Amino acid sequence: MATQDASSPAATPATYESGTRMALRQLLRNRAAAIGLFGVLLIVLLAIFAPWIIPYDPTAIALSSKLQPPSFAHWLGTDHFGRDVLARMAYGARVSLTVGLSTVAFAALFGVPIGLLAGYVGGQLDNVLMRLMDAFLTFPPLLLGVAIVGLLGADLTTVTLALGIVQIPVLARVVRSSTLVVREETYITATRALGAGAWRLVSQHILRNILSPLVVQITIVFSAAIVAEASLSFLGLGVQPPTPSWGRDLSEARRFMVDAPWLFMAPTGFIIVSVMAINFMGDSLRDALDPRSWVRRAAPTKETADAPADR
């Protein structure tokens, strides 16, 4: 995909703006997208640069300073072990983002090929694959997570596996339905007439043209994974202490709701803000990537320019 993206501006006449750039411009014009992007960036930067920004170790126990309310020294206060809450939130963001990213990668690794195969080949194979996906969709997602993580033991791999499995059918469905539409487009017929093989058709042309719904769905999977990881940790099944995790810290804060309410407010706030920021980004991406919402001349020129250029 990357090579294709790099070569396409050359194939497109200079007077036309490329689809990617146009989408980017649309995105930047949108205020919700800007807020979402800002929120996501903030949390990502906090997670990456935590050791340099925050002068506390998230696991260092200092009982002399336990349960302190927010102050200049500890912006979000300290917990029952005297650990700095802001440090725990920043390092907890690492867990959330890692699980979110790896869940997306795992679900896409299986969901995208299954969806492409079902949508492109069709027929009996489509039927069998999609019924199988339907069966996986009937698993209550959180309970499957509880079963897998509870039985296999909690670490980042099992959590990712448990959360990713339920998202495979979600991605497969989106990819399949978009593939069904794209497969019938004239430019695909044209490319096939030019002698392109099935592999080239699917990997170069179909995959590229279903990217927008896929990317939007991926942001949804990403925020769902963050919530699901927090849920599992909240139930005591996620990453194990003393590793900081938003869900686990929230669960421990239940014992101190009367004496130290800031302990539950911090993880709650971090979860809500990050999920909201990702959702904002997803919604704006959907608008920006949908050529019908663009006012100016749009995608068709790009697509028609693509097919003959492939010779």
Partner 1 sequence: MWSYLSKRIIQMPLVLVVVSITIFLIIRLTPGDPIQIMLGMQTSPEAVAALRAEFRLDEPWHMQYIYWVGDLLQGDFGRSIRLNAPVLQLLAERLPVSLALALSAMLFAVVVSIPLGLLAALKRNTWIDYLATGYTLFGFAVPNFALAMILIYVFSITLGWFPITGIGSGASTGQGLWGAIQPYVLPAVALGTLQTAIFTRLLRSSMIDVLNQDYMRTAQAKGLQPLVILLVHALKNAMIPFVTMLAIQFGYLIGIQVTIEHIFAIPGMGSAILSAVVNRDFPVIQGFVLVIATFFMLANILADILYGIIDPRIRY
DSSP letters spanning 162-190: HHHHHHHHHHHHHHHHHHHHHHTSHHHHH
Phi-psi region of 78 (alpha: psi -120 to 50; beta: other; left: phi over 0): beta
* Token duo for residue 112: 């995208």
Beta-carbon contacts of 44 under 8 Å, excluding residues fewer than 6 positions away, are 93, 97
State which of residues 139, 180, 192, 286 lies at the interface with partner 1 (CB under 8 A). 139
Stretch that binds partner 1, among 19-27, 78-86, 143-151, 302-310 (CB under 8 A): 143-151
Stretch that binds partner 1, among 4-12, 100-108, 265-273, 295-303 (CB under 8 A): 265-273
* Cβ closest to partner 1, residue 172 vs residue 210: 172
HSE-up of residue 154 (Cα within 13 Å, Cβ side): 19
Q: How far is the CB of 31 from partner 1 (least distance, A)?
A: 13
Phi-psi region of 123 (alpha: psi -120 to 50; beta: other; left: phi over 0): left
How far apart CA 126 and CA 9 sit, in angstroms, is 35
How far apart CA 245 and CA 88 sit, in angstroms, is 7
Stretch that binds partner 1, among 58-66, 205-213, 271-279, 291-299 (CB under 8 A): 271-279
Burial class (CB in 10 A: 0-12, 13-18, 19+), 170: buried
Q: How far is the CB of 191 from partner 1 (least distance, A)?
A: 35
State which of residues 41, 45, 135, 194 lies at the interface with partner 1 (CB under 8 A). 135
Query: How many CB atoms sit inside 10 A of residue 272's CB?
Result: 11
Tell me, by CB under 8 A, how many residues bind partner 1.
39
- Closest CA relative to residue 267, chosen from 67, 64, 96, 51: 96
Residues forming a β-bridge with 67: none
Footprint of partner 1 on 196-225 (CB under 8 A): 223
146 forms part of the interface with partner 1 (CB under 8 A)? yes
37 forms part of the interface with partner 1 (CB under 8 A)? no
Footprint of partner 1 on 65-124 (CB under 8 A): none
148 forms part of the interface with partner 1 (CB under 8 A)? yes
Footprint of partner 1 on 276-305 (CB under 8 A): 276, 279-280
Stretch that binds partner 1, among 95-103, 106-114, 129-137, 198-206 (CB under 8 A): 129-137
40 forms part of the interface with partner 1 (CB under 8 A)? no
254 forms part of the interface with partner 1 (CB under 8 A)? yes
Q: Are 146 and 87 in contact (CB under 8 A)?
A: no
Stretch that binds partner 1, among 46-54, 173-181, 201-209, 246-254 (CB under 8 A): 246-254
Stretch that binds partner 1, among 167-175, 188-196, 206-214, 267-275 (CB under 8 A): 267-275
State which of residues 97, 174, 188, 271 lies at the interface with partner 1 (CB under 8 A). 271
- Closest CA relative to residue 247, chosen from 100, 105, 102: 100
Residues forming a β-bridge with 84: 78
- Interaction site with partner 1 (CB under 8 A): 131-132, 134-136, 138-143, 146-148, 150-152, 223, 227, 230-231, 234-235, 247, 250, 253-254, 257-258, 261, 264, 267-268, 271-272, 275-276, 279-280
